[in-house]
Structure 1
Amino acid sequence: MPKTPLDVTFVPGDGVAAVDRALTIATALAQANATLTLAELARVTGMYKSTLLRLLASLQRSGLVVHRADKRYALGPQAFLFGRAFDQTYGLREGIHPVLEWLVEHGTESASFHVIHGKETRLCLFRINSNHSTLDHVREGDVLPLDKGAGGRALLAFASQGASTPAPLVFTSFGERDPLCGAAASPVFGPSGLLLGVLSLSGPLERFSELAVQRMSGLLVNAAETATRSLGGQWPGQALQLDRRRA
């Protein structure tokens, strides 16, 4: 990423550059799943250290970032409050976690819940690993492409029109985002047909046989419908259809 001087001017339609950069820092800390030094932050964000120090000072005052005694930076208590408020506002954990557990208990691949995270990415909000000995490498908090994989394409398909979208209820992918992994995903809707996110089952590609995909798709749709109704949404009436994508 090219390094440019700090620009705090307002750009019509695009927001404030300083705010965008501050959020880039917070996002980098969230995705790192670890504390970072100033040099590490400069490397992952592409910003000058002098720019980072000014923005970090503001983030520290807000409690979104803390500067530890070992000179490393980490997310602060305000980040926890944001996350808790988000969860409480939508009631997602209470509506989603039970169906993720139900899926894994019924022998599926690892179950996740993904939400849109910017224009080009999605965020794994919840994750429960399967009982299989080998797993795909996705964790809560991971940011993945929005245009690749079953979960991303399902989010894109239902993002604008929600439950009224004439699209398949199950999206599948085989080696698309990761050449060694397969996935299946189904949307979850809230009140007024709003897309809340997608349930995703993912794991090693060799376990995504035709029979396994058919079985998991049925379980996935049942789970997505259950989650939708528990979160105040109405499940679409169309028949089960699969959107298949191979690398």
Structure 2
Amino acid sequence: MPKKSSRPSVADEQAAPGGAAAVDRAISLLTAFQPGESALTVTELAERTRLYNSTVLRLLASLAHGRLLRRTADGRWALGPEVARLGALYTASFSLEDVVLPEMRELVARTQESVAFHVRQGEQRLVLLRVDSPQLLRDHVRAGDVLPLDRGAGGRVLMACSGAPGRLYDQVRQDGYVMVTGDRIPGLVGISAPVWRTGTELAGALTLTAPEIRVQPSFVDELRASAARLTQALGGRAPG
């Protein structure tokens, strides 16, 4: 019997409370695949999950039976057709609003400032979702409004993530967010960060706006943390 490794497996580290260890291990195999990889060897899967090869082989047999993984002609392992079927079902039932709006409400509750979610619409940007600040002094933008793409924090992020050239957009891509003052309305500060979905597909820009006199240094971290949580919830990752 092989000696148990002193280093816990990925499944052990990320075990579901009250869950089944075998299922946790199988999930760790599925999540071992990274964007751009078509197939992995048993050794690669074992290394990434920190499971014994013998354990990996047993799990692969069950996952192949369920068509979640398949063996390729060269003996490696790739995602199976059942993953595609489940992905299609998820996409068909998915509502961006159901995921994004609760996080926006929590961000407004923490900062007491207005939050919007912008998406690109040609050469403009659409306010897809909006949660207003409870304070009377705020910008009066509504969901459904169309705003300039080349002014305002949300527009700057959408342009940067679409590859727009220029020092400002280079900085946005490097920092992963932008903070601008008076870019669209004098005295209004906008802080925005991209939200990614399904790998590196841009879902939109999460944007907090506030009068300059009320802006707190913590707003940047709060906004970026919300954008990161949404990216994770949508199955995305920042490119690069």
The interval holding the TM-score normalised by the smaller chain is 0.5 to 0.7
Counterpart pick for 2:128 among 110, 125, 128: 125
The equivalences for 1:201-240 within 5 A come to 201-208=208-215, 212=216, 214-235=217-238
Letter paired with 2:197: G
Q: Distance in 2 between matches of 1:216 and 1:160?
A: 26
Name the CA distance, whole Å, in 2 between partners of 1:109 and 1:88.
33
> Matched residues in 1 for 2:103 and 2:219: separation?
13
Would you say 1:91 and 2:91 are equivalent positions?
Answer: no
User: What one-letter code is carried by the residue in structure 2 that aligns with 1:200?
Assistant: T
User: How many matched pairs?
Assistant: 143
**Percent of aligned pairs sharing the same letter:** 36
Whole-Å separation in 2 of the counterparts to 1:168 and 1:182: 17
Matched, 1:178 2:185: yes
SS of corresponding position for 1:217:
helix
1:148 corresponds in structure 2 to 151
CA distance 1:143–1:90, change in 2 (3 Å): farther
Structural RMSD (CA):
2.2
C-alpha change, 1:144 and 1:90, in structure 2 (3 Å) is farther
Q: Tell me if 1:194 matches 2:197.
A: no
Q: Deviation of residue 110 (structure 1)?
A: 0.2
One-letter amino acid of the counterpart of residue 219, structure 2? M
- For 2:219 and 2:195, the matched residues in 1 are separated by 16
Tell me the SS of whatever aligns to 1:167: helix
Distance 1:167 1:90 in 2: 30
Give the letter for the 1:218 counterpart. D
Structure 1 residues 90 and 155: CA distance shift in structure 2, 3 A = farther
TM-score in terms of structure 1 length: 0.54
1:21-100 map, 5 Å? 91-100=95-104
Gaps of 5+ in 1: 1-86, 238-247
In the alignment, structure 1 residue 106 sits paired with structure 2 residue 110: yes
Aligned counterpart in structure 1 of residue 120 of structure 2, from 106, 116, 121: 116
Q: 5+ unaligned residues in a row in structure 2: which ranges?
A: 1-90, 165-171
Indicate the structure (1 or 2) with the bigger Cα radius of gyration: 2
Question: Residue 167 in 1 paired to residue 174 in 2?
Answer: yes
SS at match of 1:220: helix
Task: Please list the CA deviations of residues 19-72 of structure 1 after superposition, one character each: whole Å capped at 9, or x if unmatched.
Answer: xxxxxxxxxxxxxxxxxxxxxxxxxxxxxxxxxxxxxxxxxxxxxxxxxxxxxx
In structure 1, C-alpha distance between the alignment counterparts of 2:99 and 2:128, rounded to whole Å: 13
Contact 1:149/1:172, CA 8 A, preserved across alignment: no
Cα separation, 1, equivalents of 2:219 and 2:93 = 30
